[in-house]
Amino acid sequence: MQVDVAPVQSPSDLKAFIDLPWEIYRNNIQWVPQLRADLKKRFNKSTYPFFDHAEVEFFLARQNGRAVGRIAAIKDDSHIDFHEEPAGFFGFFECVDDQDVAAALFSQAADWLKNQQLEVMRGPMSYSTNDECGLLIEGFDSSPVIMMPYNPPYYLNLIEGFGFNTAKDLLAYEITDDVPVPDRLAKIVERTKKRKKITIRPLEKKHIHREVEHIKDIYNSAWEKNWGFVPMTD
């Protein structure tokens, strides 16, 4: 059956792009949907901050007029400048269990990135490591948590079937309230606080703009050596 892939151009296209996961995960009791209102904000190129330093094209795949897949091709100038790497990304990938549909989506995204003079396509990355990234390959019997990916098991076959290879293994850890801090670690923390004269204080809400600037600086300095890091902008 013919697969038609085209950019999202109209409000009805965008609605179909946003609504597709509700069809893909219709019978999946673990899936937790994102808020549609939040998704509309994230896809608004006029107002969402990511588009201040990035270009994105959203594509929708249809068969006989029915939406069967979606993908975003992403050129992030912050990543290119920080890593000095001509890499683009694909994200927001959702697809029925059909290799032809997936291949059509990946090909369209790859062509768009190539036209942007990019040489590498990496993903899923929606939009960057500051957002959801990676592909779930274990843990399908657990519900996803905030900013962690969730997808059907067959996505791995669709992605590898197109020729993608693993770029990085990403691990997620669950920490429960009943896990004590080891005594040795607690002692190291106390010694470090005294030696470095570190203090810990509550966030001051009345100076929220100043506090957010501190948070941004700490986040960027703490994460700058991590794989795929992109600096958080103002």
Task: Give per-residue pLDDT as tens, 138-163.
Answer: 999 988 888 899 999 999 999 999 99
pLDDT at position 4: 95
**What is the average per-residue pLDDT within 40-47?**
96
Give the 3-state secondary structure of residue 54: strand
- Percent of the chain at pLDDT above 70? 100
Q: What are phi and psi of 233, to 5 degrees?
A: -90, 170
pLDDT of 177 over the 90 cut? no
d(CA 117, CA 105) in angstroms, rounded, equals: 19
The whole-chain average pLDDT of the chain stands at 95
Tokens read off for 168: 């990085």
- Residue 99's identity, in one-letter code, is Q
Q: Positive or negative, the Cα torsion across 209, 48, 129, 174?
A: positive
- Residue 117's identity, in one-letter code, is Q
Q: What is the 3-state secondary structure (H, E, C) of 133-195?
A: ECCCCCCCCCCCCCCCCCCCCCHHHHHHHCCCCCCCCCCCCCCCCCCCCCHHHHHHHHHHHHH
Helices (H), the chain: 11-24, 36-42, 77-83, 99-115, 155-161, 183-196, 208-223
pLDDT at position 39: 95
pLDDT at position 111: 98
d(CA 201, CA 32) in angstroms, rounded, equals: 35
pLDDT at position 223: 92
**What is the average per-residue pLDDT within 6-17?**
96
pLDDT at position 20: 97
pLDDT band at 58 (very low <50, low <70, confident <90, very high): very high
d(CA 101, CA 159) in angstroms, rounded, equals: 11
pLDDT at position 175: 81
d(CA 207, CA 205) in angstroms, rounded, equals: 5
d(CA 48, CA 224) in angstroms, rounded, equals: 23
pLDDT at position 174: 83
pLDDT band at 201 (very low <50, low <70, confident <90, very high): very high
pLDDT at position 176: 83
pLDDT at position 230: 93
Tokens read off for 24: 């893909």
Q: Positive or negative, the Cα torsion across 71, 75, 78, 83?
A: positive
Task: Give per-residue pLDDT as tens, 68-119.
Answer: 999 999 999 999 999 999 999 999 999 999 999 999 999 999 999 999 999 9
- Alpha carbon 127 to its chain's center: 5
pLDDT of 1 over the 80 cut? no
207 C-beta neighbours (distance < 10 Å), count? 11
pLDDT band at 63 (very low <50, low <70, confident <90, very high): very high
Give the 3-state secondary structure of residue 51: helix
Residue recorded with tokens 């949907």? 33
Task: Give per-residue pLDDT as tens, 204-215.
Answer: 999 999 999 999
